[in-house]
Chains A and B, each alone.
Chain A
Amino acid sequence: MKNNIIILGGGQAGIYAAREIRQNDTESNIKILSEENLLPYERPPLSKDFLLDKKNEDDLYFHSIEVLKNENIDFENVLINKVDFEHKKLFSKNEDVYNYDSLLISTGSDNKKLSLDNNLNDDIYYLRNLEEAKIIKEKVSDKNKITIIGGGFIGLEIASSLSQLQKKVTVIEIGNQLMGRIIPKQIADLVQNTHIEQGNEIILNKQIFKIIKKNGIYEILLNDNSIIETDFVIAGIGSTPSVKLFENTNLKLDNGIVTNQFCETSIKDVYAAGDVCNFYHPFYERNMRLESYQHAQNHGICAGKNIAGVKTEYTSIPWMWSDQFNLNLQLTGICYDYDEIIARGNDINNGVIYFFLKNKIIKGACGLGIAGKVGRDIRITSKLTEKNTIVDKQILSDQNQKLNKLIQKQ
């Protein structure tokens, strides 16, 4: 049957969903509506190789317009600012109306903003999209001292890139470790050491009390009365799901759009995927929200299948990475609910991994190493986690023994 399928949000989850629908449904109309006037592109390089000039805009796109044309996927640059779920309609700012039979919401997430009580809100820069990356790149070019508020992934990746551009970087983090919401302290401390060795200043356990501007220079007052002087301020203090549009509708929201394991929302024929979702994960038997490349891609594909009528559960074990300096950090599974930790390796040149176990079953792992050194073992851990494996701890802890053995045995 020929349907009108609309994908609201032309990011990673949106484009993967669109192509997956087309794989399974050659008839329906598929239209991506995107606020950004850019074909879907990869965000990870924005804080890394794009700032470093190792990748340019053209390197970021997932697909060319020809690929979309060949697959008969429409792409329209429009900001949707009203929805009517009852009549299956979306409205743009100019009152253009878009009718759908099935809707996928993949609006991603928005950066949390600092709220300063003076007029400096516009002086603080954030990074979520290509436009903002271009602005930051241009603005920092003649600046020397840069302060980053927030020691999460994006803040630290920017800190790494700017340090490589010979900037004097200070990172201010409110918590007692870097990347505290997700990454185990053992790995966070190794990352911190690398930043310090590379000349970045890392300030933990400090809150911003006030920012003032004097002769073009910012003074950041911290809660211990110390003052950081800086030429430019970037904040990376987390994100929230982009759900403002749905706040006064009957779409069920709770830390994002609530979906089941089939990417279905509380409203019939309305699906959601990617950063915007608080989705049910059947393996963990609970809801979770993830902001990662692999998740956006796989969740988009899963939503695409379900929209096209191929009923598919979303079961991917979480995995994410962050690249800082020449280090690659990876995390899989759940690393905060455990009763035993096993370490593998102690030198980041060869890779250091911590495995997290509960009742002898492997639940997740987090590793750090020179580019690529921990990838294989982290990937194997995802497979072991998926199968609730009771692992041979001696093999896990001995870097001379390949973990491939553990998956081959199954």
Chain B
Amino acid sequence: MSEENWIEVGSTDSIEEEDLIRFDHQDKTFCVYRLTDGFYATDGICTHEAVHLEDGLVMDDEIECPMHQGIFNIKSGEALSPPACEDLKTYPVKVDNDKIFIKID
């Protein structure tokens, strides 16, 4: 993995546990989550209709879309409940010195 693609998102304490923040980079939106076992990142827009998942509810390992309750697994991106049927893209995350980085390809 080349180092240049790791983008700094913010400090680890900027996200509460079982919650997420939205992160915009260039023309893309991502969601970065803090789950009980670490940090994860996915695309920030639902695959069903163009709605920001930042307003969704994080429950266990799942993010529920705020528009029609489509559900995705945060770790794998898998679409678990309709009307969402297309998976959500996920991104690698690392924490370095209390800072969160995501790797955008």
Contacts and interface: CB of A to CB of B under 8 A. Distances in A.
A408 B36 CA distance: 13
Given A293-B83, A379-B57, A408 B67 contact: no
Nearest to B56: A376
A62 interface: yes
A372 interface: yes
B57 A372 contact: no
B82 A379 contact: no
A54 B18 CA distance: 34
B52 interface: yes
Interface residues of B, number: 16
B99 interface: no
Contacts of A297: 82
Given A319-B69, A374-B66, A380 B55 contact: no
B66 A380 contact: no
Contacts of B68: 44, 293, 321
Contact of A404 (B19, B51, B55, B82): B19
Contact of B69 (A62, A294, A380, A408): A294
A380 B49 CA distance: 22
B43 interface: no
Contacts of A375: 55-57, 64-67, 69
A291 interface: no
A42 to B, nearest CB: 6
A373 interface: yes
A98 B57 CA distance: 45
A293 B70 CA distance: 12
B55 A376 contact: yes
A319 B57 CA distance: 15
Contacts of B55: 372-373, 375-376
Nearest to A373: B55
Contact of B52 (A42, A49, A372): A372
B99 to A, nearest CB: 24
Contacts of A380: 57
A144 B69 CA distance: 35
Contacts of B67: 321, 323, 328, 371-372, 375
B18 A408 contact: yes
Contacts of A62: 82
A372 B66 contact: yes
Nearest to A404: B19
Interface string A375-410: 110011000000000000000000000001000100
Contacts of B83: 42, 44, 293
A293 B84 CA distance: 13
Interface string B8-31: 000000000011000000000000
B18 A404 contact: yes
A372 B82 contact: no
Contacts of B56: 372, 375-376
Interface in B49-105: 49, 51-52, 55-57, 64-69, 82-83
Nearest to A55: B49
Nearest to B66: A375
A144 B36 CA distance: 56
Contacts of B65: 372, 375
Interface centre among A294, A373, A376 (most CB of B within 10 A): A376
Contacts of B52: 371-372
A297 B82 CA distance: 9
A373 B66 contact: yes
Given A294-B69, A375-B57, A375-B67, 20 more contacts: A42-B82, A44-B68, A44-B83, A372-B51, A372-B52, A372-B55, A372-B67, A373-B66, A374-B66, A375-B65, A376-B55, A376-B56, A376-B57, A376-B64, A376-B66, A379-B66, A379-B69, A404-B18, A404-B57, A408-B18
8 contacts: A42-B83, A328-B66, A372-B52, A375-B56, A375-B64, A375-B67, A376-B55, A376-B64
Counting from the closest, the 7 A-B pairs by CB-CB distance are A375-B66, A372-B66, A372-B51, A372-B55, A376-B57, A372-B67, A371-B51
